[in-house]
A and B are shown apart, each in its own frame.
Chain A
Amino acid sequence: MIVIFIRTLIIFFTLMVVMRLMGKRQIGEMQAFELVITLIIADLACIPMSDVSIPLIYGIVSITALFILHQLMSILEKCGNFFKRVINGKPSVVINKNGVDFNELKKNNLDVEDLIEAMRASGYFSLADVDFAIFESNGKLSALAKPNYDQKERSLAMLIIDDGKIKKDNLLYIKKDKNAINEILSRHGLKTQKVGVMTVDGKGMVYLQGKNKKYLTFNIDLGEVKW
């Protein structure tokens, strides 16, 4: 019985560390320790239930151990910011007044594509729509829209350059080639490799941000292409 208890503790803390190291993307909407418990508890309940040769007490002891850990984590969470940060992590501001914070994205094992996807899930279809975006410790994205967001005509932004790499498939949507993109970039003193993110929406509005630079928005002529 003590052996199972100790083994449960070891597995719990191993999973907890792994989940925390994997970053917010893996967590979904739960806190790390809640996800760990959810992952383990299903199997713990299943195995002794389905395998009659395993004493039921094995499942009961493990689940009780998880319950104790859950209660303990909840108490530690309330004990102060230090424990809360260790257990749950802290929210990350991934978009601020200067644009996308690439370092914060990297810290959370995310890239611009993940950020844009999370923004779309939150109802924002362009990086230019928000002043601030925060990845909460439970993996959810919270965003503060720009003051004029409600009056603005909205359009889906296409990712054209992601971390210095041109997305060839998306170039087809805006009917431009690499040379046209390079020309736009050179007008702003940038090279493809130095671009952190570039998006173009259906109205021709470009969101351009060099690595470690403030973002800028401007319009380009998309000709007949509109979406």
Chain B
Amino acid sequence: MVKSIITIIIALLILTGGAIFEQTYILNEFKEFSIATLSLKEKAELEIATTDETVELQRNWEDKKRILHAFIPHSEIKEIGLWLSEAVEFCQYQNYEELADKLRVIYDLSKQIPQSFRVKFENIF
């Protein structure tokens, strides 16, 4: 019985540790990304956003995505990549209005996605 209790405690500790790491990691990654997106969106509204900055945001997201896929199903974050590709295109053609719209959607997504991994009534049931 002692062995069983020890294995339960160890398994619970591993799960708790993993859960805390997962929550913190996802929140931080999306927080960083949303700040960068918001900043670029403001520049797009002022029509001073550059293609290099948009590509940098896209590259930044690709780096984050690689690890985020270990915690989040691919389908849940697929859209961000697609919207970013469109954003780069709009920036190249200096279509700032469309660029700002796309970045606003990306910003909203980066705020919503981490919420679906929090311990909430609607996420459990």
Q: Which of B28-73 contact A (CB under 8 A)?
A: 69-73
Residue ID in chain B nearest A54 by CB atoms: B73
Q: Which of B1-46 contact A (CB under 8 A)?
A: 1, 4-5, 7-8, 11-12, 14-15, 18-19, 22-23
**B interface secondary structure, majority:** helix
Inter-chain CA distance A72–B6, complex, in Å, is 11
- Please tell me which one of the listed residues A5, A54, A72, A78 contacts residue B15 in the complex, with CB atoms under 8 A apart: A5
Contact B73 A53 (CB under 8 A): yes
- When distances are taken between beta carbons in the complex, the residues of chain B under 8 Å from A61 are 15, 18
The residue from B1, B7, B73 contacting A78, defined by CB atoms under 8 A apart: B1
Instruction: Say whether A6 contacts B7, CB under 8 Å.
Output: no
For B119, what are the chain A residues with a Cβ–Cβ distance below 8 Å?
A: 2-3, 6
Contact (Cβ within 8 A) A71 B19: no
CA distance A75 to B7 in the complex (A): 12
Tier of interface size on chain B: 20 to 34
- Interface segment out of the listed A62-70, A101-109, A148-156: A62-70
Given contacts A53-B75, A55-B72, contact A7 B124 (CB under 8 A): yes
Sort chain A's interface into a size bin: 20 to 34
Q: Are B18 and A71 in contact (CB under 8 A)?
A: no
CA distance A72 to B4 in the complex (A): 8
Q: A3-B117, A3-B124 are in contact. Are A67 and B11 (CB under 8 A)?
A: yes
Q: Contacts A55-B70, A55-B72, A57-B71 given; indicate if A68 touches B12 (C-beta within 8 A).
A: yes
A6 shortest CB reach to chain B, Å: 5
Q: Which residues of A142-173 are within 8 A (CB) of B?
A: none
Which chain A residue lies CB-closest to B6? A71
Chain B min CB distance to A92 (Å): 28
In the assembly, what is the distance between CA of A166 and CA of B79, in Å? 66
Q: Could you say which residues of chain B place their CB within 8 Å of the CB of A74?
A: 4
Find chain A residues with CB under 8 A from B117 CB: 1, 3
What are the residues of chain A within 8 A of B71 when measuring CB–CB? Answer: 1, 55, 57
Docked-complex contact A64 and B14, CB < 8 angstroms? yes
